[in-house]
C-alpha cells in the first residue's frame, strides 16, 4: 500500500490525545459509611472491572476512527503492477487492431466496434493534460503524432477494417519511438485486440520500466476457420497444351472434419477445374487441380473455397505466363548443326545462332536458353554477359570443346558456383545412370525407354566434385563420374556437359538421349517468376522484360477490378525488380505493365497470419506476461459498464480512501453504541 499524500500521516500523532485523556481521567469517589459493607465491596469491585473494559473499548474505537480518518486524507492506494499512482503528464498509446480477424462477432456485436467503444472510454477517463497516439495496423503517417482527447476520439470513430496485420512487438516499437521523444511522468499503451497468438508476440517485447502495457481483450465468439494457405505448380514452367498440376494447400482450424468441400480454379474469369476435398481438423490438406493451358499469354487465376464467417482468406490469387515458344540461342564456332537440327523449324521453339566472334549481347534478354557449344575459349565479355543473363532468370547450357581452355571455363563456373574442370581423362566407358527424379527426366521416359542403351564415352573432363548443395547430376558414368550436371543459383539454371559432342569423345550427338535432354531443358527454360505476393510484404519480385534497361520506362500494376498504382521499381541485370509495398492495398489479380506492354501477371493476397484463429484468454495472457517478466502490464477484462473504474484503477492504482472513511464511520458508530447502551 502506498499514499498519494504521505505527509498527512504525521497527523497520526493525534491518536495520542484520546489515549492521554483516558489515562488521566481519574474519578474521585466519596466515602459513605455503612454498618455492613461486605456486599457493597463486591458490587464496587465488579462495577469497577466492567467500567475499565468499557472505557478501553471506547478508547480503541476512538483511536481507530481517528487513524482511519487520517489515512483516508492521505489517500492510500495499492499500485497496479509496478506503477504507482503518478500525477503529471502521461503519454498514452491506443492500439486498435483493425485487421480482418476483427470482422468476427461476439455476443455483444462486431468486435471492432466493441474495441472502438472501449477505446473511447479509455480516452475519456484520462486527464486532459495527457497526450495520445492512435495506432492501427495501417501505420498511417497522420497517426504518428500526439493528439488531444478530442482529436483522438474523432479519429477512433473513423477506423475501418484493414488488410494489414501487425505483430504486437511492431506496435510496441512504433509507440515507443514516438513516446521517448516526449517528456512525460508515465508512459502506457492500451492494446484493444482479439489477441490472436500468431501476432501477439509477447516473447519479442523486452521489459521496460518506463512503459506499461494494458490489454483490453475483445474476444470473438468464433474460433474456427477454413482457408487456402498456398498454391504451387509441380514444374517451374508453363507450356502450351501441356498438362498442369496445381497443388493447393487448405487448412482447417475447426474442431471437426469437413467433407465434400468444393475447391474451384478460375483462370481469366473462367472455371477450369473443380474438386471436392475433405479437411481434417487441425491439419493441412493438400490436393492437386489438373488443367491444360489451351492458349498462350499471361493468365490471371484464383482458387476459391467457401467458408463462413471469416471470408478474407477464402480466395487465393496468382498469375503466370504461358509461353507460345521458347527462345533459344546457340553460340558456336564453325558450322555445327546438331542444335539447328534439333530446334529449327519447330512450332515449340524459336532458334537463333551467333558465331562466337559476332555475338550481339544486346539481344540476350530476348532469349530463354543460351547454349554455349564447344568454344575453345570463353572471353571475359561473354562470361560477364552469361552471368548477367543467368541473374535475369535465363538458363545456360555449357558444352566444352575437346581443346577447351579450362581456366576460362572455370572462371565462369566460379561465378555460378559450379564444379570446376580439372583435366581430360581418356577412358573407354559409358553412361550408366540417369536421374529419373530430376525435373529434366521426370515424366520424359516411359518404361521401355528407361532400358534403352546409353551413350558410349571415350574421354571426358574430370571435375572437382565439390560437395555442393546446388548440384544435381542428370547422368553419371560407370565409374561414378559426372556426365551431365545441373547447378542452380538464385533460381537460375546452369547445365554442364563433361564432354564435347565430337565423335572421338562420345556418340551422344547421334544418340536419342541428347534429343530427350535438350528438349526437356528447353521446355523448362521458360521458368515462371513469382506467381503471388503477400499484401504488405517488404520484398520485391522480379520480371524479365526486353525493355527493362530503358531508363524512361515506367511500371504500373492494375487489378482486374481497375485499381491501379505505380509501385517502386528498379532495373537490374535485365530485370524489373518491383516493390509493391504499401501501395498494394487490395487483394486480387494484377497485370504488370511497362509502358504499354504487359510484362507479367501476379496475384496479391491478404496475409494469412491471422487465418489460424487461436486466441489468448485472460488467464493464459497473464501467465505469459508473468513469464516474460512484464510486471508493469495488466489485463483489463471489464465490460463497458465498469471499464471506467478499471481505467481509473490503472491510472491511480486501487484507491482505498473510501474504504477508510467507511471504517472511520464504523468505529465512531461502535463508540456511540458503547457509550449509549453499555450501562
> DSSP readout, 11-24?
GGGGGHHHHHHHHH
How many domains does the chain fold into?
3
3-state secondary structure of 110: strand
Given a contact cutoff of 8 angstroms between Cβ atoms, the answer to whether 109 and 218 are in contact is no
Question: How many Cα atoms sit within 13 Å of 566 on the Cβ side?
Answer: 6
Q: Is residue 371 part of a domain?
A: yes
pLDDT of residue 169: 94
* φ/ψ of residue 192, rounded to 5: -110, 100
pLDDT band at 325 (very low <50, low <70, confident <90, very high): confident
Q: Report the mean per-residue pLDDT for the chain.
A: 85
Please say whether the beta carbons of 9 and 1 come within 8 A.
no
Residue 367: phi and psi, rounded to 5, are: -105, 155
pLDDT band (50, 70, 90) for residue 655: low
Q: Do 383 and 415 reside in the same domain of the chain? A: yes
- Residue-wise pLDDT for 383-427, tens only, equals 999 999 988 888 999 999 999 999 999 999 999 999 999 999 999
In this prediction, what percent of the chain has a pLDDT beyond 90?
A: 43
Coil, strand or helix at 618? helix
Who has greater pLDDT, 478 or 490?
A: 478
Together in a domain, 70 and 127: no
Please tell me whether residues 53 and 172 are part of one structural domain. no
Same-domain check for residues 494 and 372? yes
Per-residue pLDDT at 482: 94
Banded pLDDT at 26 (limits 50, 70, 90): very low
Confidence at residue 596, expressed as pLDDT on a 0 to 100 scale: 80
Mean pLDDT of 245-268: 91
% of the chain with per-residue pLDDT over 70: 88
300 within domain boundaries = no
Q: Which domain, by its residues, includes 95?
A: 90-186+203-209+619-652
Average pLDDT over residues 238-248: 88
**Cell, residue 644:** 471506467
Asked if the model's pLDDT at residue 549 lies above 70, the reply is no
Would you state the pLDDT for residue 44? 54
Same domain, yes or no, for 497 and 644? no
Contact 455, 508 (CB under 8 A): yes
pTM over 0.85: no
pLDDT band at 202 (very low <50, low <70, confident <90, very high): very high
Euclidean distance between CA atoms 55 and 459, whole angstroms: 121
> Which triple of cell numbers denotes residue 434?
540417369
340: its cell numbers: 539447328
Cell reading at 199: 501476432
- Is residue 405 assigned to a domain? yes
> Domain check: are 444 and 488 in the same one?
yes
Q: Is the confidence at residue 558, as pLDDT, over 80?
A: yes
Q: Residue 547: its pLDDT value, please?
A: 60
Instruction: Examine the domain organization and report whether 642 and 662 are in the same domain.
Output: no
Does residue 85 surpass a pLDDT of 50? no
3-class DSSP assignment, residue 298: strand
Q: Has residue 76 got a pLDDT over 80?
A: no
Q: Does 307 score more than 80 pLDDT?
A: yes
Is the pLDDT score of 68 beyond 50?
yes
Model confidence at 28: pLDDT above 50:
no
Residue 54 lies in a domain: yes
Residue 669: what pLDDT?
86
Computed on alpha carbons and rounded to an integer, the radius of gyration of the chain in Å comes to 41
Residue 566 lies in a domain: no
380-391 and 406-415 are packed helices; what angle lies between their axes, rounded to 10 degrees? Answer: 30
Number of other residues whose CB lies within 10 A of the CB of residue 612: 16
Residue with cell 495496423: 137
Does residue 572 have a pLDDT over 50?
yes
* 240 close to 322: Cβ distance less than 8 angstroms: yes
If pLDDT is split at 50, 70 and 90, which confidence band does 508 have?
very high
Within this chain, do residues 42 and 162 fall inside the same structural domain, yes or no? Answer: no
> According to the model, what pLDDT value does residue 366 have?
87
- Of 464, 494, 523, which residue is a domain's last? 523
Residue 283 lies in a domain: no
For the record, the C-alpha cell of 227 comes out as 482457408
DSSP 262-290: EEEEEETTEEEEEEEEEE-TTSEEEEEEE
Q: Are residues 101 and 71 in the same domain?
A: no
Note whether 500 and 515 are same-domain residues: yes
Q: Which of 500, 523, 546 is the last residue of a domain?
A: 523
Residue 594 bridge partners (DSSP)? 555, 597
Condensed to tens digits (0 to 9), the pLDDT of residues 164-184 reads: 889 999 999 999 999 888 888
pLDDT at 78 over 70: no
- Non-local (6+) Cβ contacts of 132 within 8 A are 92, 93, 94, 123, 126, 146, 147, 148, 149, 151, 152
The helix or strand, by DSSP H or E, that contains position 41, with its residue range, turns out to be helix 38-73
Mean pLDDT across 99-106: 84
SS3 of 365, please? helix
Task: Read off the pLDDT band of 33 (50, 70, 90).
Answer: low
Query: Which of 151-155, 453-457, 633-637 is predicted least confidently?
Result: 633-637
454: nearest Cα among 484, 417, 424, 425: 484
d(CA 205, CA 508): 63
Summarize pLDDT for 265-303 with one digit per residue, the tens.
Answer: 999 999 999 999 999 888 899 999 999 998 989 999 999
Domain-located, residue 437 = yes
Among candidate residues 506, 523, 540, the one where a domain is terminated:
523
Q: Are residues 95 and 50 in the same domain?
A: no
Q: Is 531 within the bounds of a domain?
A: no
Average pLDDT over residues 108-133: 90
When pLDDT is averaged across residues 44-57 and rounded to a whole number, the result is 67
Same domain as 483, residue 378: yes
Amino acid at each position: 500500500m502506498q499514499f498519494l499524500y504521505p505527509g498527512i500521516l504525521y497527523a497520526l500523532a493525534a491518536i495520542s490525545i484520546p489515549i492521554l485523556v483516558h489515562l488521566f481521567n481519574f474519578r474521585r469517589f466519596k466515602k459513605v459509611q455503612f454498618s455492613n459493607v461486605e456486599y457493597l465491596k463486591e458490587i464496587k469491585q465488579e462495577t469497577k472491572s466492567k467500567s475499565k473494559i468499557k472505557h478501553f473499548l471506547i478508547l480503541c474505537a476512538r483511536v481507530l476512527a481517528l487513524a482511519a480518518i487520517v489515512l483516508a486524507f492521505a489517500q492510500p492506494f495499492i499500485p497496479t503492477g509496478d506503477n504507482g499512482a503518478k500525477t503529471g503528464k502521461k503519454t498514452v498509446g491506443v492500439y486498435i487492431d483493425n485487421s480482418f480477424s476483427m470482422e468476427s462477432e461476439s455476443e455483444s456485436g462486431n468486435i471492432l466496434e466493441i474495441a472502438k467503444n472501449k477505446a473511447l472510454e479509455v480516452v475519456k477517463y484520462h486527464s486532459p493534460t495527457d497526450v495520445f497516439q492512435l495506432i492501427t495496423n495501417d501505420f498511417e503517417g497522420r497517426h504518428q503524432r500526439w493528439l488531444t482527447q478530442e482529436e483522438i476520439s474523432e479519429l477512433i470513430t473513423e477506423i475501418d477494417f484493414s488488410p494489414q496485420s501487425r505483430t504486437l512487438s511492431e506496435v510496441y516499437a512504433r509507440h515507443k519511438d514516438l513516446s521517448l521523444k516526449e517528456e512525460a511522468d508515465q508512459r502506457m499503451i492500451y492494446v484493444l485486440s482479439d489477441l490472436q497468438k500468431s501476432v501477439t508476440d509477447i516473447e519479442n517485447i523486452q521489459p521496460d520500466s518506463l512503459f506499461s502495457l494494458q490489454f483490453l481483450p475483445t474476444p470473438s465468439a468464433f474460433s474456427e476457420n477454413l482457408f487456402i494457405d498456398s498454391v504451387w505448380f509441380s514444374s517451374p514452367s508453363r507450356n502450351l497444351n501441356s498438362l498442369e498440376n496445381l497443388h493447393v494447400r487448405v487448412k482447417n482450424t475447426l474442431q471437426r472434419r469437413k467433407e465434400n468441400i468444393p475447391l474451384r480454379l478460375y483462370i481469366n474469369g473462367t472455371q477450369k477445374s473443380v474438386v471436392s476435398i475433405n479437411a481434417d481438423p487441425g491439419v493441412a490438406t493438400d490436393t492437386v487441380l489438373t488443367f491444360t493451358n489451351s492458349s498462350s499469354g499471361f493468365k490471371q487465376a484464383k482458387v476459391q473455397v467457401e467458408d463462413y464467417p471469416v471470408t478474407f482468406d477464402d480466395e487465393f490469387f496468382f498469375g503466370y505466363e504461358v509461353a507460345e515458344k521458347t527462345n533459344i540461342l546457340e553460340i558456336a564456332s564453325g558450322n555445327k548443326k546438331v542444335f539447328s537440327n534439333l530446334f529449327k523449324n519447330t512450332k515449340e521453339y524459336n532458334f537463333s545462332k551467333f558465331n562466337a566472334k559476332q555475338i550481339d549481347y544486346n539481344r540476350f534478354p530476348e532469349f530463354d536458353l543460351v547454349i554455349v557449344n564447344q568454344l575453345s575459349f570463353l572471353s571475359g565479355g561473354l562470361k560477364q554477359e552469361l552471368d548477367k543473363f543467368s541473374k535475369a532468370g535465363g538458363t545456360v547450357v555449357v558444352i566444352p570443346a575437346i581443346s577447351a581452355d579450362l581456366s576460362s571455363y572455370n572462371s565462369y563456373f566460379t561465378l555460378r558456383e559450379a564444379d570446376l574442370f580439372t583435366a581430360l581423362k581418356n577412358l573407354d566407358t559409358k553412361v550408366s545412370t540417369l536421374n529419373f527424379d530430376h525435373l529434366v527426366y521426370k515424366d520424359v521416359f516411359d518404361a521401355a525407354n528407361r532400358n534403352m542403351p546409353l551413350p558410349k564415352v571415350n574421354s571426358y573432363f574430370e571435375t572437382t566434385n565439390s560437395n555442393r548443395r546446388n548440384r544435381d547430376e542428370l547422368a553419371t558414368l560407370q565409374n561414378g563420374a559426372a556426365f551431365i550436371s545441373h547447378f542452380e543459383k538464385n533460381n537460375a539454371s546452369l547445365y554442364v556437359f563433361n564432354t564435347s559432342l565430337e565423335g572421338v569423345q562420345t556418340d551422344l550427338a547421334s544418340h536419342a538421349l541428347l534429343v530427350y535432354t535438350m528438349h526437356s531443358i528447353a521446355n523448362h527454360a521458360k521458368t515462371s517468376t513469382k506467381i503471388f505476393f503477400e499484401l504488405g510484404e517488404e520484398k520485391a519480385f522480379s520480371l524479365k522484360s526486353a525493355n527493362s534497361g530503358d531508363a524512361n520506362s515506367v511500371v504500373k500494376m492494375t487489378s482486374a477490378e481497375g485499381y491501379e498504382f505505380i509501385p517502386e521499381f528498379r532495373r537490374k541485370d535485365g530485370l524489373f525488380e518491383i516493390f509493391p509495398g504499401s501501395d498494394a492495398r487490395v487483394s486480387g489479380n494484377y497485370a504488370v505493365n511497362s509502358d504499354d506492354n504487359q510484362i507479367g501477371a501476379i496475384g496479391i493476397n491478404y496475409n494469412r497470419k491471422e487465418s489460424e484463429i487461436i486466441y489468448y484468454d485472460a488467464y493464459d495472457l497473464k501467465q505469459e506476461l508473468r513469464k516474460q517478466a512484464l510486471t508493469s502490464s495488466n489485463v483489463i477484462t471489464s465490460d463497458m459498464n465498469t471499464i471506467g473504474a478499471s481505467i481509473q484503477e490503472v491510472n491511480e492504482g486501487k484507491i482505498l480512501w473510501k474504504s477508510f472513511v467507511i471504517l472511520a464511520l464504523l468505529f465512531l458508530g461502535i463508540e456511540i453504541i458503547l457509550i449509549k447502551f453499555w450501562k
